[in-house]
Amino acid sequence: MEKETEQENKKSKKLSYILGAIFFLLFIYVIDWSFLRGQITEYSIMCPADFDGCYTLRYTTYKIDEKNQKVIYWTEGFPPSTVTDCSIISRKNWRCAYDDGSAEFGFSDGGYFNYSLSYSNDNSRELFEKMDEETHCVSRPVYLMFQWGLKKYL
């Protein structure tokens, strides 16, 4: 009887270690570590009114160069681009404009923003405004929950 209890305790300890290791690895994966490299990442989801739920968009990572007042950015699956018309205070507070002057984007207190500055016509204005209403920036853990199908609505 004592041997069975001892074996059960050993199995229980092993299971606790395994579960602890899984939770630790999950925690390490979920955290956005880009700040250690002077980067910040925009995680966006879209929740269209005519769609049941929300879905993830490709994330974009920004490498901030305060000294030269420029930002290098890349969207998942695309090559990097550089923007030089920038005003940078810190990694979490900066603003850039596209070379063609079509939009300004950046981060304010760690929150992403993107403003269109020119529209070709009223239809494009309505389209951009609708997209702005339906697109939401979220944290990496929330983004992953949508990506993994654990969350459907914002």
Are both 138 and 123 inside the same structural domain? Answer: yes
Q: What is the arithmetic mean of pLDDT over 12-33?
A: 80
- Residue 107's domain comprises 33-147
Are both 2 and 63 inside the same structural domain? Answer: no
> In sequence order, what are the residues at sequence separation of 6 or more whose Cβ sits closer than 8 angstroms to the Cβ of residue 82?
70, 71, 72, 73
pLDDT at 43: 95
pLDDT at 12: 79
Helical packing angle, 140-147 and 2-30, nearest 10°: 110
Top-confidence residue, 25 or 141: 141
| pLDDT tens-digit map of 90-115 | 999 999 999 888 889 999 999 999 88
Are both 106 and 143 inside the same structural domain? Answer: yes
pLDDT classification of 37: cutoffs 50, 70, 90: confident
Are both 133 and 62 inside the same structural domain? Answer: yes
Are both 57 and 121 inside the same structural domain? Answer: yes
CA torsion through residues 125, 81, 113, 31, sign: positive
Rounded CA separation 57/18 (Å): 33
Number of domains in the chain: 2
pLDDT classification of 118: cutoffs 50, 70, 90: low
Q: Is residue 154 domain-resident?
A: no
pLDDT at 39: 93
Are both 41 and 24 inside the same structural domain? Answer: no
Are both 25 and 66 inside the same structural domain? Answer: no
Are both 52 and 109 inside the same structural domain? Answer: yes
Are both 71 and 22 inside the same structural domain? Answer: no
Most confident of 13-17, 131-135, 145-149: 145-149
